Amino acid sequence: MKTTSRTSFTPPPFAQLPKDYLSLCQLLLPRPIHSRAQAAEVEAMIDALAVDERRLSADQRDYLEMLNEVLTLWDEAHSPAAADLAPAALLRLLLEESGQTAAAVARAIGADRSVITRLLNGTRPFTVPQAKALAAHFALDPAAFLDLSIARSQ
């Protein structure tokens, strides 16, 4: 399911955060996460609230707990699956989740679009420099884009 996300959500500093649950929900509604961008928004709000947990109101504590649960569900659904994917399948998943095209990712990492297409089709193996560039772009470990099973079996 694709959803549109706000552009660059930045929560206010802790001192300016609302104390009641409804007002917090008006800033960022706790709901299922469908993209890395939404996960980043939830993480930003968690970081803003977690500055000093002793000063949280009861509503802020409940809201923080809900955000943590939503983010945990996202992490559990995406992190383990990504670790089990072949590099080409992982890249396809990341393109789909982020809504980016192969051409856009190619431009972002300084590669030709045909290289990304061949990586996606499995007709070209990922090189270490490509893995590093993709990892930096998608905020992952470069090893996720390298087929290390070949090295392990030798």
DSSP state at residue 127:
P
CATH number for the 85-153 domain, one of 3.40.630.20, 1.10.260.40, 3.40.640.10, 2.60.40.10?
Answer: 1.10.260.40
Domain boundaries, the chain: 14-82, 85-153
Query: What confidence tens digit (pLDDT) does each residue in 59-110 have?
Result: 999 999 999 999 888 777 666 555 678 899 889 988 888 888 999 999 999 9
Cα distance between residue 151 and residue 154, in whole Å:
5
The model's confidence at residue 18, banded by pLDDT at 50, 70 and 90, is very high
* Percent of the chain predicted with pLDDT > 70: 86
pLDDT given at position 42: 93
Q: What is the mean pLDDT of residues 37-48?
A: 91
Q: Is the pLDDT of residue 153 over 50?
A: no
Q: Is the pLDDT of residue 36 over 90?
A: no
Q: Is the pLDDT of residue 7 over 60?
A: no
**pTM of the shown model:** 0.51
Mean pLDDT of the chain: 84
Cα distance between residue 82 and residue 54, in whole Å:
36
Contact 9/67 with Cβ under 8 angstroms? Answer: no
pLDDT given at position 141: 80
